[in-house]
Structure 1
C-alpha cells in the first residue's frame, strides 16, 4: 500500500489570529479533518507554550524571537519526525529549511508592502528576511484572488506560475435560529429588523469607515430618519493602523451618535443575528485581499454594495453594486438607490445566492490538496 500524502498544518496562529486570517485557518481545519483517508493524512501542529498577545514591549520582542524559533526550527523538526510531505502555513511564513518536505504558504494580501508604516519595524524586517525568501523557495504560494496575486508578484517578484489563486468561502456563523434570541440582541442594541445598514470588520484605516459614516449621514438626511448604521468589529490593537478616533470624530461632526452603533467584538452567533436582520451590507474598503464579509452577506440574503477597487468587484461579480469609495456623494447615492428600489434589492439578493455557489471552504480545501500533490 503506497504511503499516504502527509500534510503538516501549522495551527499556532489560532492562538492569536483574528477576523479573516482566523476564519481561513479554522474553516480549512474543519474541511481537512473530513478529508482524511488512507490516501491523505493531516497533522495539525501547534506549540505547547501559549503565545503572548499583550502590549508589553519587551515581551513582544521575545515573542518575535519565539515565532522565528517556531517557524525555523521547532515546526520543521516536528514535521520531519512525523514524516510530512508538505508543510502548510496560512500566516505567510513557512520554514526556509526543507527537511524532506516541500512548503506551501498563503499570502493573503500585500498590505505590508503597500502600507509599511502600519507595521512594526522589527516585524517588517523579519518578514522580509524570512517569509519572502521562504516563499520564493516554495514550489507554490497560495493567494485568495487575482488582485492579490498581481500585487504580491509586483512587490515580491515571485513568479506568476508559482502563485496559485484559490478562492475562500463564507464563515460559518453560528446563528441560533431562535427569533426570540435575535429580538433580545437587537433590543439590547436598540435596533429594529430591516432598519439598519451593516458593516463588519476591524476598524483598520483601509476599511474607510469614516467615509461610510459621512455617506450614511447624507442618506439619513434624505428622508430616512429611522435608518441606523451598525459597525460590528473590534478596534485594532495597532494604533498606527486604527481609524477609531476618526470614526468617533465623523460621528460627532455629523451629530448622529444615536444612529451609529459600534458593537465592539461579537460572538459568531451575535454577528450572525446582525447579518440576518440587516437591510443592506456596505463594504467601503479601499484595499482588500479577498473580502469574506461579501460572502457572509450573500449567505445572509443581503443586498451588497462594495467599493469599486482591488478584489471586491472580482469576488462580488454581477451580484454587487459598486461605488467610488473616495466619493461620498456617489457612495450615498448608490446606497439610496438600493434603499429606494425593492425590486433592485430582490434582484441583488437572488444574484448573491447564485454567486455564493462559486465559493465554499470544501472547494478551497480540495483545490489546496491538488496543489499539495503537484508540489511533491
Structure 2
C-alpha cells in the first residue's frame, strides 16, 4: 500500500523542515501515491499562486484550531491510503487515523510558549490534541524530542521512531562567496536571530570574554525571528561583533570554512542542523548542555548553561585558545559521531519505515 504525503509547509516554510520534506518525498519515490499541498495535489506554478494557496491553507488551519464552526462546511481531508504528515499542524485539516504517520520536530510551542509568537502554543495544542486522540505512528528527529513528546502525551502509540535529519548536500558544494566585510579570526553562530536562539546573551558573553581586545570577532549569520531587535541593538554597539543577516549557501560555506569555532547556545531547538554543518567543516563547537544540540553534536562538544553568561564566555575563550592537539582530537571524535546523520543511512531508514508500516516487502 502506498502513502499520501501532506507537504503543505512547502508554501511558506523555508527552514530545515522544507529541505527534509523534499528529501523524504524524493527517497520514498513510488511509495508515494500523491503529495498534497493544502487542498491542492500539485504545487502552484506561480509565486502568486503559492502565496494565495498558502494563505487559504493557513486560514483553514487557524479556523480548525480556533473557530471550528467556520470550517465545519468544509470536509476534513481523507484518502484511501495512510497519510504522512511532515508537520503536526497539517493534522488539523485531516481526519487523522491510527494508520497515519506524523513527523514531529519538537514540542517547543507547548513547553516553551514564550519563545514563540502569540497563540502559536494554542495552535499546536489543538494539533497535538488531535494526535493524542487518534494515536498515529510517530516519528521524531531526535531522542530529546521523542522523550519530551511522550512525557506530555503518553506512550501508547502503535510505533515511535527516531530518524535523524540527514546532512545537507548543499554544504559540500565547492562554490563560496566571501562576505564584503569580515574579520579573522572569528567565532561563528548560524541561526535566526531572536530570543529563542539566545544571541543577545551570547553577544554579552563575547564582550565579557575579552577576545575582542585580542583581535577576535564574533560573526552571527541568520534572518530574524521574535526577539531579534534586542540582539541586533546589542550587536551593533559591541566591539568585534559582525551581524551578517541572512546568508546564502555560498556565503555560509565560506563562513564555516574560515571560522575558528562554532557557538550555538539556543534555549530551544528542534534539531540543530548548523551544529552538524559546523562539525562537517572541522569546527569545535560550544552548545547548550542537556539539550538536543548536545545530542546532535555528540560527546566531544563543549557545553555550557544557556542562561549563564560567564559560562558561555568561558566556553568562547576555550574555543579560541584550544591547543591544536585537543582541537584535532575533538574534531576526529565529532566526525565519527556524524556517521549517524549520513544521508543514505537516514533516507534508508525512511524507506524501511514506509515499507514496514504499509506492508510493502520490496
TM-score for the superposition, normalised by structure 2: 0.81
Structure 1 residue 213: deviation in Å? Answer: 0.8
Alpha-carbon distance in 2 for matches of 1:53, 1:206: 29
Partner of 2:337: 355
Structure 1 residue 216: deviation in Å? Answer: 1.4
- 1:137 corresponds, among 131, 134, 139, to 134
Partner of 2:294: 313
Partner of 1:299: 280
Structure 1: runs of 5 or more not aligned: 237-241
Alpha-carbon distance in 2 for matches of 1:123, 1:353: 36
Partner of 2:170: 173
- 1:91 corresponds, among 80, 87, 106, to 87
Alpha-carbon distance in 1 for matches of 2:57, 2:35: 26
- 1:247 corresponds, among 205, 227, 231, to 231
Partner of 1:239: none
Alpha-carbon distance in 1 for matches of 2:331, 2:14: 28
Alpha-carbon distance in 2 for matches of 1:243, 1:121: 13
Tell me whether 1:344 sits opposite 2:333 in the alignment.
no
SS in 2 for 1:319: coil
SS in 2 for 1:203: coil
Distance 1:161 1:319, change over 3 A: farther
Alpha-carbon distance in 2 for matches of 1:23, 1:222: 36
Partner of 2:104: 107
RMSD: 3.3
Distance 1:228 1:60, change over 3 A: same
CA contact (8 A) 2:109 2:124 kept: no
Alignment of 1:155-304 (within 5 A): 155-157=152-154, 159=156, 162-173=159-170, 177-178=174-175, 181-182=176-177, 185-186=178-179, 188-192=180-184, 195-219=185-209, 221-222=210-211, 225-236=214-225, 242-251=226-235, 255-256=238-239, 259-304=240-285
Distance 1:51 1:128, change over 3 A: farther
**Length, aligned pairs only:** 342
Structure 2: runs of 5 or more not aligned: none
Ranges of 4+ aligned residues in structure 1 off by more than 6 Å = 66-70, 72-75
Structure 1 residue 243: deviation in Å? Answer: 2.3
Alpha-carbon distance in 2 for matches of 1:350, 1:306: 17
Alpha-carbon distance in 2 for matches of 1:161, 1:286: 31
